[in-house]
Amino acid sequence: MESYPRQCVAGDKVFIEEIGNELEKIDLIRIGHPRPNEFIESPLVVEGQARGSWFFEGDFPVILTDWDGLIIAETYATAQSDWLTEEFVRFKTEIEFDKSELYNRGALILQKDNPSGLPENDDALEIPIFFK
């Protein structure tokens, strides 16, 4: 039987694929590309849908980190239509980066834009990726 995230049962142990917090954020933001655990290369096109409240002035921050959280690249994803809604709005961006020479894994972080600066308004979708 298929499941998401993928699971493997070996005797009395269960192994579950790490997909970040995608399922926890599915009612707020949905990423179409890249998918969790996908191999990526520069330039990377990032696209998906987010609730209008995820944006501020039509965009939100996108951060690419290496295996230990070091920021490799930053950019902004831009709404592809009117973001002044509570509905889902398509977004897109392209991010260029130099891949980590030490490890091939990292994370793509799509941060909710928080102009208030208040920590209680912070939110983010974080998905694991691999560098080609």
- Domains of the chain by residue range: 20-131
pTM of the model: 0.92
Joined together, the tokens standing for residue 58 give 């039509």
pLDDT per residue rounded down to tens, the chain (132 residues): 578 888 888 899 988 889 999 999 999 999 999 999 999 999 999 999 999 999 999 999 999 999 999 999 999 999 999 999 999 999 999 999 998 777 899 999 999 999 999 999 999 999 999 999
CA distances from 110 to 13, 16, 51, 63, 91 (A): 32, 23, 13, 7, 11
How high is the pLDDT of residue 103? 83
How high is the pLDDT of residue 1? 57
CATH 1.10.3470 fits 20-131, yes or no: no
